[in-house]
Structure 1
Amino acid sequence: MDFSAVMHVLRSQDGVFSRAQALECGLDDNDLERHLRRRRLARVHPGVFVDHTGIPTWSQRAWAAVLFHWPAALAGPSALRAHGLRSANGGELSSGFERWRPRLEPSAQDPIHVVVSASRRLRPPPGVAITRRTDFESQVQMHLSPPRLRLEEALLDVASSSGREADAVALLADACQEGATTAARLHETLSGRARLSRRRLLLSILDDVATGSMSVFERRYLHEVERAHGLPTARRQVRRVMRHGVTFRDVEHSDFGVVVELDGRLAHAGPRRWTDLERDVEAAVRGEATVRFGWLHIFEPCRAGGAVGRLLRSRGWTGSVTACGPGCTAVESSQRGAA
C-alpha cells in the first residue's frame, strides 16, 4: 500500500480513513488486508481504519464514528467537545456545594454521539450512539474537522436531556461565560424548536443567563432568595474598575449601595482570599456595603432573604420583604433591629 496516495486524507482526519476513501485514492481491498496483517493499519469499525495499532485517541474515535455512518456529524456531548467547550464532557456538583466542575478528559467508555438524516436506518457499532434529525443538512457543519452539529443545537440537545435542572443551568451558563455563544443566540435557536423536551425550563434558564446569572449557585440565589422574597431587582455581573484592576460584581443594588457577592465554594484560600478582602474594602471606602454568601447560607434562603432585606431597608429601600410560603422566616428576620 502506498500511503502517499492517502496521505492528505490521513493528515486531515487524524490518521483515520474509510474504505471508500481508500478506493477513491486508487487502492483496493487487497492493499488494505495486506497492511492489516502487517499491523500498519488497525480496523476501528467495519470499513474504517486507523494508521496505528495502539489505542485510538478520542479524536480518532470521533472520526471513525463519523466515517462509518457517512454522511454524518458529531452530536450531543461529542459535538460540544469538538467545538472546544470546556464543560462538554459531563461533570458533577461536588456534594452540592461547588459549582459545575467539568471532567477535563472523556472516559474511554463514553460513547461517540453522531447525528444522521432522519431518513436513514442504521445500526451503530459498539461505542457509538446515533440520533436522527429531519433538518440534518441545515444544522450540521460538514466543513469542520470532524463535521459536527452547530454549537447552539448541540447545547440545547444536551441541556434538554440533562438528568438534573442544575446540570442544564451549568452547561448553558458555562457556555455563555466561556464566550462560546450567547443567551440571545441560544434563545433564537430554541425558538425554532417547538418540540424540544423541557423547552419551558430551557427558556427560563436562558432568561436568567441573559440577566447575568452565570452559575447554578447564582441562579439559586436569584430564584430562592431575591425573587422569592420580593427583594428589589438587582444588576448582575456588573463591571467595575477597582484599584487592583477590573472586577465583576455578582449582584449589585446600586440605588442602595449594597453589593452581594456569591462565593460558590466552601472556602477561599491563597491570593483569592486577599482579592475578596480588597474588593470589600474598596467598596466600603466608596460607601457601599458588601455581604457575602456561600452555599451554606443559600441552604437557608428565607434567612438569607431576610438579612438582605434588612440591609437594604437600612440603606433607603422602602419596600418590604415578602414571605415565600407558609413557615417562611424571612419577614420576621428582616424586621429584627428595624428602627
Structure 2
Amino acid sequence: MGESEEQRLAREKAEDAARMLRAQLLMQAGVASHAQLAAGGVTKVDMERRLRRKELRRVHPRVYVDHAGPMTWPQRAWAAVLYAGPAYLCWTSIEEPRGRDDGAPIHVAIDHSRRIRPQDGIVIHRMKNMEQRAYGGVPPRLAVEDNALAMAHEAKREIDAIARLAEVASRRYVTAATLRAALDRYPSVRRRSLIAGLIDDLEAGTHSVLEHGYLAKVERAHGLPIGARQAPRPGPDGSQFRDVEYQAYKLVVELDGALGHESWRDQARDADRALDDLASAGMLTARLRFHQVFETPCQTATRIARILRRNGWDGTMRACGETCRMKEA
C-alpha cells in the first residue's frame, strides 16, 4: 500500500530538513547548535546515540561538533558564535590566524543588554548598536572599521589606539569615509578627537595629529627650543615645506604620520635606530613617526636635544612630569 499524501508531505519535509542540516554543517565546519540539530530532524534519542558513538561532541552548552578529534580555528569560532548567538566575531578573532592556531580564546561581541554565562575559550564583549556594526561574514563578524574603533576604545595607551587605526587603514577597502561612518556609530568612543584627527589626516594626506603630538609631548613638554613650523625652502620643484625647522641649530624634523602600512611598527624601530645615528653623527634631518612621539616622547626629546646641543643649543631640558624618562642631553 502506497504512502498517503500526508505521509509523503511529512517525508519530504523531513528530507528537506535533513538537507538543510547537512548544508549548515558544511558551512559551519561541522559545528551546530542544539536548535539546528533538532530542526534538522535529530531527536533526543538520535543525539544521545551520536554522542555515545562519538559522532557528536559537546563543545559548549547546546553546541556540538561532528567529530571527537581536535578542533580547528574555524570550528572554535563557529562554536563561540553559536553559543553566544546572536553574536559576531570581534577583536583579534575577526579573522582566522595566519599559520598554526595557537588556541587563543575566541572573542565575540553581543548586544549590551544580554547576559550569558562565560565559557572556557570564549571572551564576551558587550556592545551597543550591534545591528549597525555587524558584517555578515562566515562566521558572522563585526565590520573591520567598527572592530578597530572598539579596540581603540579599550586601548590603554594612545599609541595602541593609533595602532588599531593604522592596521585597519592598510586594507584597500577601508577609507576615511568608511572609518568616519564607523565613528558616527560609536558616539562614546574614548579619545574621539584623536581618532577623528587621524581619520582627517588619512583623508587629507596630512600629519596634523603627529605634528601636534610632537609640539606638545616632545618639544614643549621637555623645554626644547621652539622650531619653525612648515618652513618654506626652495627646492628643484619649487618651495618645499619642512615640518619643524631649528634653523639656528641646522636641524630639520620631518614627521611621517602615514597610516596604512602593515609594517609601521617595524618602521618605528628603524626610525629609533636612525635617530640614534643622527644623535651621534650630528646630521641635519631627523624623521619621526608615531612611535617616537606618542610611545617614547621623553627618549625622543633626549635624542633631539643631543643633536641640538652638538649644533650649539645651550638651553636646559626639563622633565615632563614625575615619571619622565628623559636623560639630560
TM-score (norm 1): 0.59
Segments of structure 2 that go 5 or more residues without pairing to the other structure are 1-14, 232-239, 246-251, 257-266, 273-283, 321-328
**Does structure 2 conserve the Cα–Cα contact (< 8 Å) formed by 1:118 and 1:134?**
yes
CA offset digits 1:246-278 (Å, max 9, x no partner): xxxxx9749x9x89597533599xxxxxxxxxx
- Residue in structure 2 matched with residue 240 of structure 1 by the alignment: none
Could you tell me how far apart the structure 1 residues matched to 2:128 and 2:76 are?
Answer: 25
The one-letter code sitting in structure 1 at the alignment partner of 2:78 is W
* Residues 298 and 33 (structure 1), Cα distance of their counterparts in 2 relative to 1, 3 Å cut: same
* Residues 140 and 70 (structure 1), Cα distance of their counterparts in 2 relative to 1, 3 Å cut: same
- Residue in structure 1 matched with residue 29 of structure 2 by the alignment: 14
- Residue in structure 1 matched with residue 325 of structure 2 by the alignment: none
CA offset digits 1:227-255 (Å, max 9, x no partner): 98444349xxxxxxxxxxxxxxxx9749x
Out of 132, 140, 154, the position equivalent to 1:138 is 132
Kindly report the root-mean-square deviation, in angstroms, between the aligned alpha carbons of the 2 structures.
4.7
- Residue in structure 1 matched with residue 301 of structure 2 by the alignment: 301
- Residue in structure 2 matched with residue 173 of structure 1 by the alignment: 166
* Residues 44 and 67 (structure 1), Cα distance of their counterparts in 2 relative to 1, 3 Å cut: same
**Does structure 2 conserve the Cα–Cα contact (< 8 Å) formed by 1:115 and 1:132?**
yes
Deviation at 1:178, TM superposition (A): 3.8
Deviation at 1:74, TM superposition (A): 1.7
The one-letter code sitting in structure 2 at the alignment partner of 1:7 is R
Name the SS for the 2:269 alignment partner. coil
- Residue in structure 1 matched with residue 43 of structure 2 by the alignment: 28
Deviation at 1:66, TM superposition (A): 1.0
Superposition map of 1:177-196 within 5 A: 177-179=170-172, 181-196=174-189
Superposition map of 1:207-286 within 5 A: 207=200, 224=217, 229-233=226-230, 253=242, 260=254, 263-265=267-269
Question: Are residues 1:55 and 2:45 paired?
Answer: no
Deviates more, 1:189-198 or 1:163-172: 189-198
Segments of structure 1 that go 5 or more residues without pairing to the other structure are 87-103, 235-250, 269-288, 312-320, 334-339
Superposition map of 1:110-129 within 5 A: 110-129=104-123
* Residues 180 and 107 (structure 1), Cα distance of their counterparts in 2 relative to 1, 3 Å cut: farther
**Does structure 2 conserve the Cα–Cα contact (< 8 Å) formed by 1:226 and 1:233?**
no
Percentage of matched positions with identical amino acids: 38
The one-letter code sitting in structure 2 at the alignment partner of 1:69 is A
Could you tell me how far apart the structure 1 residues matched to 2:32 and 2:80 are?
Answer: 11
Could you tell me how far apart the structure 1 residues matched to 2:211 and 2:101 are?
Answer: 27
Could you tell me how far apart the structure 1 residues matched to 2:316 and 2:167 are?
Answer: 29
Could you tell me how far apart the structure 2 residues matched to 1:203 and 1:193 are?
Answer: 12
Deviation at 1:297, TM superposition (A): 11
Could you tell me how far apart the structure 2 residues matched to 1:8 and 1:63 are?
Answer: 14
Matched positions, count: 261
Out of 76, 100, 112, the position equivalent to 2:91 is 76
The one-letter code sitting in structure 1 at the alignment partner of 2:304 is A
- Structure index of larger Rg: 2
- Residue in structure 2 matched with residue 281 of structure 1 by the alignment: none
Name the SS for the 1:170 alignment partner. helix
Deviation at 1:291, TM superposition (A): 5.3
Deviation at 1:151, TM superposition (A): 1.6
**Does structure 1 conserve the Cα–Cα contact (< 8 Å) formed by 2:56 and 2:65?**
yes
The one-letter code sitting in structure 1 at the alignment partner of 2:155 is S
Could you tell me how far apart the structure 2 residues matched to 1:210 and 1:306 are?
Answer: 35
* Residues 189 and 50 (structure 1), Cα distance of their counterparts in 2 relative to 1, 3 Å cut: same
The one-letter code sitting in structure 2 at the alignment partner of 1:151 is V
The one-letter code sitting in structure 1 at the alignment partner of 2:108 is V
**Does structure 1 conserve the Cα–Cα contact (< 8 Å) formed by 2:148 and 2:165?**
yes
Deviation at 1:306, TM superposition (A): 8.5
Name the SS for the 1:49 alignment partner. strand
Could you tell me how far apart the structure 2 residues matched to 1:174 and 1:324 are?
Answer: 38
Deviation at 1:68, TM superposition (A): 1.2
Could you tell me how far apart the structure 2 residues matched to 1:198 and 1:217 are?
Answer: 15
